[in-house]
Amino acid sequence: MSVQDTDLDVVSGIRAFLKNHAGIDKVVLSPAVTGSDTVSSKDLNRLVRTASRPIVTMTRQACGMAC
């Protein structure tokens, strides 16, 4: 596992990183990226459709009655 930071926006940074690193099998995005306004659903859907590798997004587990 590796964490990468970039000065680009999230979508452009992921595309640039994937272009330069052919050995990556899958990209996993944290709930912080998908749960905030960091990446719009439109941008995320476009990234998933155009990326050459699987993009997996994680979400926070919904809180049931125990919360």
Task: Answer whether 0.85 is exceeded by the pTM.
Answer: no
Integer Cα distance of 33 and 10 in angstroms: 9
Contacts of 10 (CB under 8 A, 6+ apart): 33, 38, 39, 43
**How many residues are listed for the chain in this entry?**
67
C-alpha atoms less than 13 angstroms from C-alpha of 14 in its C-beta half-sphere: 20
Integer Cα distance of 52 and 4 in angstroms: 18
For the segment 21-55, what is each residue's pLDDT rounded down to a tens digit? 888 888 887 777 766 666 777 887 887 777 777 77
